[in-house]
Amino acid sequence: MPPTQIQSLFNGGHRKALIAYITAGDPTPERTPELVAALERGGADLIELGVPFSDPIADGPVIQRGAERALKAGTNVHKVLDIARTIRKTSKIPLLLFTYMNPVLRYGLAKLASDAKEAGIDGCLLTDLSVEEASPYVGAMRASGLDTVFLAAPTSTPERLKLVAEYSTGFIYLVSRTGVTGEQASLSGSVQPLIDSMRAVTKLPLAVGFGISTPQQARDVARMADGVVVGSAFVRLIEQNGDLETYTRSLRQGMDAAGNKA
């Protein structure tokens, strides 16, 4: 099977990956493709399209408000896939569907895998799926040629890290600290130990997220990991109708200052 868009991104080796999370449909489904285009122009390498959910247990207040706006605008899984199709008319940027289990179960696992692939989605991340129970999900996604990205946290046991490594494709998302999403003044001291623990059990690319919002933080993470994930800061800018492209470029410049991949 040929490499996915996500795998090709990390195998390219030209630079560390800037991964941008936005809530699809925030503020409206029609605006999301424009926002993705601005992120791409600013230097984002991969887009996480968040499916808005009414009970987002892993998300802080900024992303919760984004989900509320998107739901109010009528966004659901079907609409998010339509958004992906629109993005695909003008862009080949890798797209990762970022969602919770409940919308997936309501849609149907096999149907989602098939429809997501057809819409131009490259992979999926289920934030509240326990890796110990992930085998059916992984089977369905891989049958459709989609990557399965899993989360690892500072509290993950060695056994769980091994399962995350086994079930992940594309890259592994390392949560920089415990708790919910949100911008932080400084990086957690648990980032490097988590990277070291994960590298001991996998050769997959590692991306770090949760709390990253400044060019300096992006540069610091880029020195340690293969990718940097930024979410709340983008959603806050969307809420404020701010300049996504300029902000994205500032993060990209910070990361590039850390040097290219070894």
243: annotated active-site residue: no
Of the candidates 138, 139, 143, which has an alpha carbon nearest to the alpha carbon of residue 164? Answer: 138
From the candidates 48, 122, 183, 220, give the one annotated as an active-site residue. Answer: 48
The question of whether 59 is a catalytic residue gets the answer yes
| Per annotation, catalytic residue among 40, 45, 59, 183 | 59
Backbone angles phi, psi at 234, to 5 degrees: -70, -45
What angle separates helix 61-72 from helix 232-239, to the nearest 10 degrees?
A: 50
Distance CA 240, CA 37 (A): 18
Separation between Cα atoms, residue 126 and residue 104, nearest integer Å: 9
Q: How far apart are CA 227 and CA 219, in angstroms?
A: 10
Q: What residues are annotated to the active site?
A: 48, 59
